[in-house]
């Protein structure tokens, strides 16, 4: 029985491939061409950009070792926490001015807290400067922490966008399978969100 079913599917394989090619691949190609036409970007330009992208990524040395990346991540995390406290102090100043509840004692406490924050920020900057940056990554010395944070965020988003792009190559097939209820269709909002965040980082 199993052999009979397998033989039947094998005999119909050619028809199935022909059907898929005529009903899906050609339609997908037309849809892609229409989108490229709408945004006025030539296929040759996209191919050239992709070639430049591959050459740049393959020729560039690694940004940093895994150990250095972890150390940088910790420093950036500390920097983010310092920024949060700075914002909270500023909001407290604003709220007290609006309610006119400032007193000398309160102002003195806030000034001390702000002084501690400045000292902590300086320590974080010093910690960043004392990281064990390898000689082959000497270009990371004296780089502003805020710029480096945006740079690494853009890099992570770029990696995420690339994964989404690769996954989208299989999306149509996954959607076809989802018709039978076996596979859930892939979401389409996440790549757009990633792209938007990446563009914001590049603009900054």
Give me the pLDDT at residue 168, please: 64
Burial of 133-163, coded b for 16+ CB within 10 Å and e otherwise, reads beeeeeebeeeebeebbbbbbbeebbebbee
Three-state SS string over 143-160 comes to: CCHHHHHHHHHHHHHHHH
* In-domain check, residue 163: yes
Does 83 lie in the same domain as 118?
yes
In this structure, which long-range contacts are made by residues 135-142, counting pairs with CB atoms below 8 Å and at least 24 apart in sequence?
136/61, 137/63, 137/64, 137/65, 137/68, 140/64
Average pLDDT, integer, range 191-196: 55
Tokens 């018709």 -> residue: 179
Contact 200, 153 (CB under 8 A): no
- State the total domains in the chain: 3
What is the percent of the chain where pLDDT is above 90? 0
Other residues' Cβ atoms within 10 Å of the Cβ of residue 60? 8
pLDDT digits (tens, 9 = 90+) for 11-66: 777 777 777 676 777 777 788 788 878 888 777 888 888 888 878 767 655 555 56
Query: Higher-confidence residue: 2 or 135?
Result: 2
* In-domain check, residue 204: no
pLDDT digits (tens, 9 = 90+) for 121-152: 888 777 766 665 545 456 666 667 667 666 76
Give me the pLDDT at residue 78, please: 78
Does 125 lie in the same domain as 155?
no
Does 121 lie in the same domain as 82?
yes
Average pLDDT, integer, range 166-174: 62
Give me the pLDDT at residue 178, please: 47
Give me the pLDDT at residue 141, please: 63
Does 154 lie in the same domain as 122?
no
Give the range of the structural domain holding residue 4, as residue numbers without chain letter: 1-40
d(CA 90, CA 106): 14
Does 124 lie in the same domain as 70?
yes
Does 146 lie in the same domain as 127?
no
């Amino acid at each position: 029985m199993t052999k009979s079913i397998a033989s039947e599917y094998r005999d119909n394989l050619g028809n199935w491939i022909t059907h898929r090619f005529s009903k899906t691949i050609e339609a997908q190609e037309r849809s892609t061409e229409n989108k490229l036409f709408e945004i006025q970007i030539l296929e040759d330009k996209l191919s050239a950009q992709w070639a430049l992208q591959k050459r740049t990524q393959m020729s560039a040395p690694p940004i940093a070792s895994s150990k250095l990346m972890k150390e940088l991540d910790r420093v950036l995390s500390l920097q983010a926490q310092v920024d949060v406290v700075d914002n909270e102090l500023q909001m407290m100043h604003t709220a007290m001015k609006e309610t006119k509840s400032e007193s000398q004692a309160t102002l003195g406490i806030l000034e001390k807290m702000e002084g501690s924050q400045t000292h902590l920020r300086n320590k974080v900057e010093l910690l960043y400067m004392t990281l064990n940056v390898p000689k082959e990554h000497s270009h990371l010395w004296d780089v502003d922490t805020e710029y480096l944070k945006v740079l690494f965020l853009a890099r992570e988003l770029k990696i995420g966008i690339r994964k989404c792009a690769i996954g989208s190559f299989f999306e149509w097939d996954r959607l076809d399978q989802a018709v039978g209820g076996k596979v859930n269709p892939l979401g389409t909002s996440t790549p757009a969100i990633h792209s938007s965040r990446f563009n914001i980082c590049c603009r900054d």
